[in-house]
Structure 1
Amino acid sequence: MSDIYDELEEIKNRHEIEKHNELRKEYQVDPSCLKCYSTDEIEIGDWFKRFWKIFQKVILEAMSYNKNTYVKLMEYIVLTRKDGEESYPSSKKKRNREFEKIRKEGEKLLDIVVRSIRYRNKSDYRKMGIISVIKVICEHYILSEDNEFILDDRTEVNLLGNRELLTYRYIIEDDELDIRFAKFEEWLDEIESITIKNKGYGTMRYFKEILHLEENIVEEENREKVKKFQKSITYQWWDINEYPRPWVNDDITDKIIKKISINNNRFRSIKKSDIRFIMANGTRVASKGKIEITIEINENTEMKIIMDVIESVEKELILGNDVLREKKGIIDYNEKILHQEII
C-alpha cells in the first residue's frame, strides 16, 4: 500500500473537506470514512475481530476499519469459499469462465477492503502485498455447525511463517503463475521459435523465483537463477541452426532476462507518460490525458463518459471521477481501473 498511500490520503482529505466541512451535494467519495461507513449500527462478529488481530500483526500500519471493510470482506469470503456440495464443472472452458468471473469480482471486493482501511503511515507492503495477506487469512475460514465463519488455529502460524510473503512482501498465486508462464511459453514459441514440451514443479519454482527478482533480474549475480530455470525446461522443438542447445544457450538467457525485466517493470509502479494500455476492443490508450469509456450504472443502464487518467501504478490505470461526479444519479464507486497485460 506504499504505492497508493499518498492517493488514499488525498482522497481522505478531499472527502473530509467537500462532504463534512463544506457540505457539498457532490463530493469525493472515501471508502475509508469512519463517519459515512460507521460500524455503530452493526455487530462486529468474532470472525472479523480475529481477522483484524492477525492482520495487524503483519500490516503494522493498519489503524482502523469501517463498515466497508467488514461487509466487503464477508462478501469476499462467501464468494471464494469452496462448498463441498457444489457441483464441479465438467467442462474446462466452463471452469475457466467461472474462475475468471470469481477472480474479477474478488479483485473488486479486495480493492474496497484495502482502501477502506486507514493507515497511520506508509507500509512496507504494496497494495498487492496487503491483498496477499488478506487472501492467506481468508483461506483458513471454515463454517461451523452453527453456520458461522471461524478461523482455524493454524491461520496465524501459517501467515507469519509464509516465507514467500515475508521475503517478497507479496505472493504470486498458483493461478497467476500459470497464466504468466503460459504467456512466457507463447512468447518463446512465437518470437524465438522454441516450443516447450513440458514443465515440472522445479521449472515453476524457478520461474516464480525469477519473477520475484523483479528489476534485479538484470544483475549478474542473478543470472545463474535464470540459467537454472532455462535448464529445467523440457524442450520439444527449436531451430537447431540458431539455438543448437536452448537449455544452455546464453543468447536465450539474455532474452529471457530482458523479457522478464520489461514485464516486471510494468508490474511495478510506472510513470504515466511511459506506457500505453490496450483495451479489450484493441484501442490503444495513452496513459495520460482523457479517455471515453462506458460505465455500467446498473444491469439495465450504461453511460458513456469522458474521464481523466490520473495515475498508473502496478498493473492498473486509474481514471479520475471528476466528470463522473457531474452526472446525475447515484454511482457507487470512486474510479475505473484498466489492467495491463503482463507475462
Structure 2
Amino acid sequence: MEWYAHWKIDYENHKLRHDENIGNVHIDELIGESISCEICYLIKDTPEVFRKFWKILQKFEYTIKDYNAETIRALLNLLSIDSEERNNYTKGRTRDALDVMVESIRYLKQPVLREKGLKIIIIVIMMDCIENDKEDETMDRLIGNKELIRYGYILENWNVNIRFGEFYEWYKEAITDFIECKD
C-alpha cells in the first residue's frame, strides 16, 4: 500500500516538528501539514453516531488506532451528502470526504485492507449500519468475506451498478462513433 507509506512518513515528520518546536512554533502554523495529527485537530466533542461508526469500523480493520476532529468532521460531511451522490465514492464531495477520513485515521501498522477497500467499508457502514440500522446483517455478511480477505476490498451491488452504468454510457458513445466511422 503505497498510500500508507506516504501517510506514515508525513505523520512522523509532523510529530517531530511538534516535538522539536515546543514553545517555538504555534499550533496554527502546523495545522494542515498532517490531517492525522491529534494535537492540531483536537477532539472537542464526539457525536454518538461517530462512536457507533468507529466501533463497527474497528471490527473490519484491526490496525486502526485512533481518530481526531478531522475524522469526525469527514464522517459528518459524508452523512450530509445525499445517498445518490455518496454511492459513487470516486467522485466529488464523497471522494474528498473519504480521502480526509482515511488520511486522518491513525494506524498501528500497515492496514490489511487496501485504501479502496477501506473507503468501500466506510460507505457500507454508513449506509447499512448507521442509516438503515442493519448492523447485525452487515457484520454477518462482511466479517470473514473471502473477497474482502483475498483482495482487500469488495464490490457491493450498488458499486457494480454504478460501474456498469458508466461502462454502458461509454459503450453507447463508442458504438455510435464506430458506426459513424464505418459509414
TM-score, L = length of structure 2:
0.74
How far apart are the structure 2 equivalents of 1:131 and 1:20? 32
Q: Is the 8 A contact 2:35 2:104 kept in 1?
A: yes
Judged with a 3 Å threshold, the aligned counterparts in structure 2 of structure 1 residues 5 and 99 are, in CA distance, closer, same or farther, namely closer
Question: Which secondary structure does the structure 1 equivalent of 2:41 belong to?
Answer: coil
- Deviation, 1:119, is 0.9
Corresponding position: 1:107 with 2:95: yes
In the TM superposition, 1:56-95 aligns within 5 A as 56-81=58-83
Question: Which secondary structure does the structure 1 equivalent of 2:131 belong to?
Answer: strand
1 or 2, which has the higher helix percentage? 2
Q: Is the 8 A contact 1:114 1:130 kept in 2?
A: yes
Specify the structure having the higher radius of gyration (Cα): 1
Which residue of the partner structure matches residue 131 of structure 2?
Answer: 142
Corresponding position: 1:32 with 2:36: yes
Corresponding position: 1:176 with 2:168: no
Q: Is the 8 A contact 1:3 1:127 kept in 2?
A: no
Question: Which secondary structure does the structure 1 equivalent of 2:81 belong to?
Answer: helix
Q: Is the 8 A contact 1:63 1:120 kept in 2?
A: yes
Q: Is the 8 A contact 2:63 2:112 kept in 1?
A: no
Q: Which runs of 5+ in 1 are unaligned?
A: 83-95, 144-149, 195-237, 239-343
Judged with a 3 Å threshold, the aligned counterparts in structure 2 of structure 1 residues 183 and 163 are, in CA distance, closer, same or farther, namely farther
- Deviation, 1:187, is 4.9
- Deviation, 1:106, is 0.9
Which residue of the partner structure matches residue 138 of structure 2?
Answer: 155
Question: Which secondary structure does the structure 2 equivalent of 1:153 belong to?
Answer: helix
- Deviation, 1:135, is 0.9
* Alignment size in residue pairs: 170
Paired residue type of 1:132:
I
Paired residue type of 1:34:
E
Which residue of the partner structure matches residue 50 of structure 1?
Answer: 52
How far apart are the structure 2 equivalents of 1:78 and 1:187? 36
- Deviation, 1:51, is 1.9
- Deviation, 1:151, is 5.8
Which residue of the partner structure matches residue 109 of structure 2?
Answer: 121
Percent sequence identity over aligned pairs: 25
Paired residue type of 2:58:
Q
- Deviation, 1:128, is 1.2
- Deviation, 1:4, is 0.7
Question: Which secondary structure does the structure 2 equivalent of 1:63 belong to?
Answer: strand
- Root-mean-square deviation (CA, aligned residues, Å) is 3.3
Corresponding position: 1:9 with 2:13: no
1 or 2, which has the higher strand percentage? 1
Q: Is the 8 A contact 1:68 1:112 kept in 2?
A: yes
Q: Bigger relative contact order, structure 1 or 2, given CA contacts below 8 A and separation 6+?
A: 2
Q: Which runs of 5+ in 2 are unaligned?
A: none
- Deviation, 1:45, is 3.4
TM-score, L = length of structure 1:
0.42
Question: Which secondary structure does the structure 2 equivalent of 1:32 belong to?
Answer: coil
How far apart are the structure 2 equivalents of 1:77 and 1:183? 30
How far apart are the structure 1 equivalents of 2:150 and 2:165? 21
Judged with a 3 Å threshold, the aligned counterparts in structure 2 of structure 1 residues 33 and 151 are, in CA distance, closer, same or farther, namely farther
Deviations for 1:113-144, whole angstroms, at most 9, x for unmatched residues? Answer: 0001011111232211110111111111237x
- Deviation, 1:105, is 0.5
Q: Is the 8 A contact 1:58 1:160 kept in 2?
A: yes
How far apart are the structure 1 equivalents of 2:72 and 2:80? 13
